[in-house]
């Protein structure tokens, strides 16, 4: 084989290898845990309420939930998610409004601050809803079930925690037992 042709072939093969394997790897295409399909009819789940344990048959069995408890959790979960969806919709609208204000030729500081205040209030309401959902779990489960749930949370942080930039899980402390 001609040395120039061999060198061109080798260079071409290297370009293909880099393109196929290294560039996607650096872009994060092969990160662990990213290949899991979303649950809930393709909806992304940014926040999973503790009320959602009724959807996990293994958790229902391990906690020994009664049919009445599962029904209560299901009803409370749907009510919580409906309220949260309404607030998130409003929040998205205010974020869009904020983006419009900042993209204007001249920024109206007063309007920006008003929208920022509205965003802050809605985020506070979302936080309160999340706390209310945790308190609802405390009202529906027995003390023993709450202990089991807390132990599960401690031993399985990846199930309930969120991944943050440094790759570590950040979890909020469980205050469910305070509701009893």
- Please report whether residue 77 resides in a domain: yes
pLDDT digits (tens, 9 = 90+) for 37-46: 444 433 344 4
> Which range marks the domain in which residue 97 is found?
60-157
Those residues with Cβ within 8 angstroms of residue 134's Cβ, 6 or more apart along the chain or in another chain: 50, 174, 175, 176, 179
Asked whether the predicted pLDDT for residue 158 surpasses 80, the reply is no
pLDDT digits (tens, 9 = 90+) for 91-133: 999 999 999 999 999 999 999 999 999 999 999 999 999 999 9
- Please report whether residue 179 resides in a domain: no
pLDDT of residue 13: 72
- Please report whether residue 39 resides in a domain: no
pLDDT of residue 51: 85
Q: Are 80 and 129 in contact (CB under 8 A)?
A: yes
Helix (H) or strand (E) holding 11: helix 3-17
- Please report whether residue 170 resides in a domain: no
Helix (H) or strand (E) holding 53: none
Count: domains in the chain: 1
- Please report whether residue 16 resides in a domain: no
- Please report whether residue 17 resides in a domain: no
Asked whether the predicted pLDDT for residue 167 surpasses 90, the reply is no
CATH number (domain holding residue 73): 1.20.120.1490
- Please report whether residue 34 resides in a domain: no
- Please report whether residue 178 resides in a domain: no
pTM comes to 0.57
The Cα 123–Cα 145 span in angstroms is 30
């Amino acid at each position: 084989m001609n040395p120039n042709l061999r060198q061109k072939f080798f260079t071409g093969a290297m370009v293909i290898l880099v393109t196929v394997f290294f560039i996607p790897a650096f872009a994060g295409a092969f990160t662990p845990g990213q290949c899991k399909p979303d649950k809930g009819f393709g909806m992304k789940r940014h926040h999973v309420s503790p009320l959602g344990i009724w959807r996990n048959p293994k958790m229902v069995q391990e906690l020994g939930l009664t049919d009445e408890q599962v029904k209560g959790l299901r009803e409370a979960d749907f009510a919580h998610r409906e309220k949260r969806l309404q607030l998130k919709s409003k929040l998205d609208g205010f974020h869009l409004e904020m983006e419009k204000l900042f993209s204007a030729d001249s920024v109206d500081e007063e309007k920006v601050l008003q929208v920022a205040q509205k965003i802050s209030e809605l985020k506070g309401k979302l936080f309160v809803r999340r706390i209310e959902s945790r308190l609802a779990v405390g009202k529906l489960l027995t003390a023993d079930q709450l202990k089991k749930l807390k132990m599960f949370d401690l031993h399985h942080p990846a199930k309930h925690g969120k991944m943050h930039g440094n790759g570590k899980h950040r979890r909020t402390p469980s205050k469910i037992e305070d509701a009893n």
